[in-house]
Chains A and B, each alone.
Chain A
Amino acid sequence: MLKEYFLHPFDRVSYERQRALSDVSFTIERGEFFGIIGPNGSGKSTLLRILAGIYVPDEGSVTVDGILSPFIELGVGFNFELSARDNIKINATLLGLTRAEIDARFDDIIHFAELERFVDQKLKNYSSGMLLRLAYSIAIQVPFDILLLDEVMAVGDQSFMEKSLATFESFRAQGKTIVFVSHDLATVANVCDRALFLRQGRVAALGPVDSVIAEYAETATVAG
């Protein structure tokens, strides 16, 4: 990089500006289960990361009223050379839990993830399904108001899907909010109240989940 600056001091560095998102505005109500759908490259992950405060928008603002727990890609901070026991401490701390809280919830985490026999094994020996169970199990222990779920859930098996759907039910009863990014339209229709259809960084549809999914399905057949 330094080399380029020195060899061509008079060239102007040019970038091609690409707008990942344009004019995206929406409100999510407390206790709502909100889906975000759209084709690959439409900006869903970017949007989720902006909601989570990971990316900073060039224009506009985000207001989040409550504690937000992001579940974007498996197990933030997971170190595969260490055991599940160590990784729970790392991941849970990164997600916001204190040492006391981690100690108190440790058994619940292992139990929900069904990993009692593997607690002290290195994470590199875990299957992707086990990793998902562990990561999700930790994420739901964080006392969140809003849960952001990215497309990670797809890796789970049938038993995990059922388990996580059951947790959604308890979240709904507790009045928690979920923002769910997924390609799995069936689950989105099943779980979400309203949805946003994102296409090429713009809001293509926003409203009750069934009508938004219908619009998405329409454009998919037209294009395909």
Chain B
Amino acid sequence: MHVSVVSYSAARRRPSLQRLAYYARVLRVLAGVDFKMKYAQSGMGYVWSLAKPLAYFGVLWLVFGRFFKVPGGTVDNFALFLIIGLVVYLFFIDGVGLALPSITSKGSLLRRLRFSPIVLPIAATVTALMTFAINSLAVVFFIVLSQTTPDLRWFLIAPLALELYVFVVGSALIISTLFVQFRDIAQLWELAAQLMIFLTPVMYPADVLPEWAQRVVFLNPLVQVMQDIRSIVLPGEQLTTAEVYGPLGYLAPLAIVALTVTAGVWLLWRSGPRFAERI
């Protein structure tokens, strides 16, 4: 029988190991429920989770691979080129989009239980992660189709994916916290999400951008990750951060990722305890 002395004062308290284990269990349950509700309820169910990115892909491939003939090498390569960019982009959009209402929609939970709100946006990103895993199967499909042989560099995909996830988490924390106070964020996000597919080189190669634009765009961690994965997997030259800024250039997007997470955690830590009263 475990007994704990818990003291709540206006000052902060640090979570114990037991508490962290509790949050891990809650995280698993919440993410599982979210995933179930998102896909098991609709008629198409899990099929829809794959149909959406494939539909996106189909249209973009048709328009930018066939009609526009964006310089991107052979058609096969363009398909793989496109699906990589799309999966990275969709993971970010999905993760942040799900996180946006994650705290406010669970107001009933926060009002009834001593609960650290940070679990909610993280649960949302885990749900997005599951979708990302499913989408990655599509990438694997195109890799197999293009008959590329993997080499040692492919091990770098793991840390890149991790960097991407951390960036998604940081952004999720920021947007979910801001949304509690500023409901307008939802409108801003909707716009940003739509513009972002053009502002990141999802369907066009980064080298069509003028140099000044390249320098701006490669500050974005999404672009850095997207291009790095492409340069690892695809044959031929892809523009990466190393070409635009030199190897030290990686510090910029990495710093942005670190900053995003720090800002997110700080925002939540500061305003979190009052959420139960606000929502």
Contact = CB atoms under 8 A, between A and B. Distances in A.
A79 B1 contact: no
B4 interface: yes
A23 interface: no
B96 interface: no
A94 B10 contact: no
A62 to B, nearest CB: 5
Interface string A65-108: 11110101100110101100010011001111011000000000
A3 B184 contact: yes
B155 interface: no
Contact of B8 (A62, A72, A86, A89): A62
A143 interface: yes
A64 B5 contact: yes
Contact of B29 (A50, A56, A94, A145): A94
Interface of A: 1-3, 49-50, 52-68, 70, 72-73, 76-77, 79, 81-82, 86, 89-90, 93-96, 98-99, 143, 145
Given A1-B184, A90-B33, A99-B25, A57 B7 contact: no
Interface stretch (B75-83, B109-117, B157-165): B109-117
Given A63-B5, A93-B26, A82 B33 contact: yes
Interface stretch (B58-66, B134-142, B206-214, B270-278): B270-278
B139 to A, nearest CB: 32
A61 B114 contact: no
A52 B3 contact: no
Contact of B113 (A64, A89, A94): A94
A1 B182 contact: yes
B112 A58 contact: no
B262 interface: no
B2 A60 contact: no
A93 B29 CA distance: 8
B181 A1 contact: yes
A126 B78 CA distance: 54
A79 B34 CA distance: 11
B22 interface: yes
Contacts of A82: 33, 36
B191 interface: no
Interface of B: 1-10, 22, 25-26, 29, 33, 36-37, 41, 108-115, 181-184, 273-274, 276-277
Q: Which 9 A-B pairs have the closest CB atoms?
A: A53-B114, A61-B9, A76-B112, A56-B273, A2-B184, A62-B8, A93-B29, A64-B6, A63-B7
A55 B29 contact: no
Contact of B4 (A49, A67, A73, A81): A67
A55 B277 contact: yes
A55 B276 contact: yes
B110 A90 contact: no
Given A66-B4, A145-B3, A54 B110 contact: yes
B113 A54 contact: yes
Contacts of B115: 54, 94
Contacts of A99: 25
28 contacts: A2-B184, A50-B8, A54-B112, A55-B277, A57-B8, A57-B10, A60-B9, A60-B10, A62-B8, A63-B8, A64-B8, A65-B5, A67-B2, A68-B6, A70-B113, A72-B111, A76-B109, A76-B113, A77-B109, A79-B37, A81-B37, A81-B41, A90-B29, A93-B26, A94-B26, A94-B113, A98-B25, A143-B1
A76 to B, nearest CB: 4
Contacts of B182: 1-2
B183 to A, nearest CB: 6
Nearest to B19: A96
B8 A49 contact: no
Contact of A1 (B9, B25, B33, B183): B183
A56 B111 contact: no
Contacts of A55: 276-277
Contact of A54 (B2, B36, B114): B114
Contact of B276 (A54, A63, A64): A54
Given A2-B182, A81-B37, 19 more contacts: A49-B276, A50-B8, A54-B110, A57-B9, A57-B10, A58-B10, A61-B10, A64-B7, A65-B5, A70-B113, A70-B114, A73-B112, A76-B109, A79-B33, A89-B29, A93-B26, A93-B29, A94-B29, A94-B109
Given A72-B112, A79-B37, A98-B25, A56 B6 contact: no
Given A94-B29, A96-B22, A98-B25, A52 B7 contact: no
